[in-house]
């Protein structure tokens, strides 16, 4: 009899958690594709080498000029985490990859929670998480020797706390969002974007305008304590600021630069490829979302400004623009929920196959402009 009870409990558990199980399998599939099909994880980019130089510099080792102060300024906790993991795994790069994979997994989990906080529906959360998880940006840049994944994770985590604060008005969610963003910005700049989500949900909540304004100012001041203190230390130590880094990128990639990537044709291509097979689903989801309860729509709208922050970077780059993919996945996930289940699963399969072969497709059908 006890054996039967255990079997019943196991069946109940699987029925309640099958969505997590499927997402976990998709995550493993992502890793397999990244490691054995497109073989991205072991590729070294110019950025990768600068992170290694920054880590070596922090360890007191000699590095070639110029010293990558920009990496030390913008991603110190990612460097330290990778160095710590690398001390166990046998090198800085293996450590960085391990940290990225952990952040990727956590990002999917908290994105699922974020979507559930918006819709209070597990099926919508599953569809949205499946789209986010299998987007080629996640396994292409989230499993290699780069630091973006940490920033994306804290952006999603902070947005999750912000959405919870909108629904619950709990002070703990308010302060957790601030703390998450303050720490996240030291992994990568994207980590600060969650503060825009928090400010927007506060602005869109019901209440006295003056009180909401005070709360936004308080959030901003509390957020600045940690990163501002760190930036002051870096300036006093190395005489380098984020304005120097931004100015360099503006001169290299911005309007008027020789390698100008800040133009309409690059923007169209970038966004087109970034969510290629998901755009029709997104458009359907946007049409369906028009009829949603205004409270739900306000949370979705509150997440949009942060998701569009890539537009203020001096040059358009798919890796930077990946921050819009979670928002697109939220609406596309709702679109899948509002259609026939078999059609929805079929579209997910198509979406996955397209994303797993995106690099080949870009070479075949690249737009002539």
**Predicted TM-score of the model (pTM):** 0.94
Q: How confident is the model at residue 13 (pLDDT cuts 50, 70, 90)?
A: low
CA distances, 200 to each of 159, 203, 234, 300, 324 (Å)? 10, 5, 30, 10, 16
User: Which residues touch 41 (CB under 8 Å, ≥6 apart)?
Assistant: 34, 35, 97, 143, 144, 145
pLDDT at position 88 over 80: yes
pLDDT value of position 251? 86
Q: Which of the four pLDDT bands, split at 50, 70 and 90, describes residue 357?
A: very high
For residue 351, what are the contacts with CB-CB under 8 A and spacing of at least 6? 131, 134, 277, 278, 281
Half-sphere exposure of 14 (CA within 13 A, CB side): 6
Give the pair of three-digit tokens for residue 166: 């909108």
Structure token digits, residue 261: 């990537």
pLDDT > 60? residue 142: yes
Query: Which residues, in sequence order, are CB contacts of 198 under 8 Å at separation 6+?
Result: 158, 161, 162, 165, 174, 177, 178, 181, 219
The pLDDT value given to residue 6? 61
Position 366 scores a pLDDT of 66
Listed in sequence order, the residues at least 6 apart from 30 whose beta carbon sits closer than 8 Å to its beta carbon are 133, 134, 138, 139, 143
pLDDT at 124 over 90: yes
Supply 281's token pair: 């689903």
Q: What would the pLDDT profile of 211-223 be if each residue is shown by its tens digit?
A: 999 999 999 999 9
Q: How far apart are CA 259 and CA 170, in angstroms?
A: 47
Length reported for the chain: 369
Helix axes 325-337, 148-168, angle to 10 degrees: 60
How many other C-beta atoms are found inside a 10 Å radius of the C-beta of residue 134? 27
Tell me the average pLDDT across 337-364: 92
Instruction: Judge contact between 101 and 143, C-beta under 8 A.
Output: yes
pLDDT digits (tens, 9 = 90+) for 175-197: 999 999 999 999 999 999 999 99
**DSSP string covering 223-243:** HHHHHHHHHHHHHHHH---HH
21-44: per-residue pLDDT in tens?
999 999 999 999 999 998 888 888
Residue 256 has pLDDT above 80, yes or no: no
| Nearest alpha-carbon partner for 189 in 41, 51, 284, 78 | 78
Residue 249 CB contacts under 8 Å (≥ 6 apart), including other chains: 313, 314, 315
Token reading at 221 = 């001041």
| Segments in the chain forming alpha helices (H) | 2-32, 46-58, 69-74, 76-89, 92-119, 122-133, 136-141, 148-168, 171-184, 194-204, 209-238, 242-253, 264-274, 279-289, 294-302, 304-307, 318-321, 325-337, 341-356, 358-364
Q: In angstroms, what CA-CA distances link 159 with 111, 146, 200, 209, 299?
A: 9, 22, 10, 22, 10
């Amino acid at each position: 009899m006890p054996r039967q009870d255990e079997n019943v409990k196991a069946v109940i558990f699987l029925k309640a958690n099958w969505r997590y199980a499927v997402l976990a399998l998709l995550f493993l599939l992502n890793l397999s594709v990244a490691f054995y099909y497109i073989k991205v994880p072991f590729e070294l980019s110019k950025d990768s080498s600068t992170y290694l130089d920054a880590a070596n510099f922090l360890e007191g080792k000699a590095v070639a000029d110029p010293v990558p102060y920009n990496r030390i300024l913008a991603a110190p906790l990612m460097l330290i985490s990778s160095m710590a993991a690398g001390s166990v795994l046998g090198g800085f790069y293996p450590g960085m990859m391990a940290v990225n994979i952990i952040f990727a997994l956590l990002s999917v989990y908290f994105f699922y929670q974020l979507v559930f906080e918006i819709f209070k529906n597990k099926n919508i959360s599953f569809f949205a998480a499946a789209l986010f998880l299998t987007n080629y940006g996640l396994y292409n840049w989230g499993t290699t020797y780069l630091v973006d994944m940490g920033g994306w994770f804290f952006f999603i985590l902070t947005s999750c706390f912000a959405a919870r604060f909108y629904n619950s008005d709990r002070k703990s969610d308010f302060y957790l969002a601030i703390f998450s963003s303050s720490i996240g910005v030291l992994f990568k700049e994207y980590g600060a974007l969650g503060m825009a989500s928090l400010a927007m949900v506060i602005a869109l909540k019901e209440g006295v305008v003056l009180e909401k304004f005070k709360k936004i100012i308080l959030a901003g001041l509390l957020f600045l304590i940690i990163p501002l203190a760190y930036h002051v230390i870096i300036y006093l130590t190395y005489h380098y600021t984020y304005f120097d880094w931004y100015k360099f990128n503006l001169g290299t990639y911005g309007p008027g630069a020789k390698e100008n990537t800040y133009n309409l044709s690059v923007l169209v291509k970038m966004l087109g490829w970034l969510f290629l097979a998901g755009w029709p689903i997104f458009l359907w989801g946007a049409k369906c979302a028009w009829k949603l309860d205004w409270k739900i729509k306000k949370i979705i709208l509150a997440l949009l400004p942060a998701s569009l922050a890539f537009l203020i970077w001096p040059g358009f780059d798919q890796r930077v623009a990946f921050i819009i993919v979670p928002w697109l996945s939220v609406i596309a996930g709702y679109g899948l929920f509002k259609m026939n289940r078999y059609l929805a699963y079929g579209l997910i399969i198509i979406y996955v196959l397209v994303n797993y072969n995106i690099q080949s497709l870009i070479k075949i059908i690249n737009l002539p402009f």
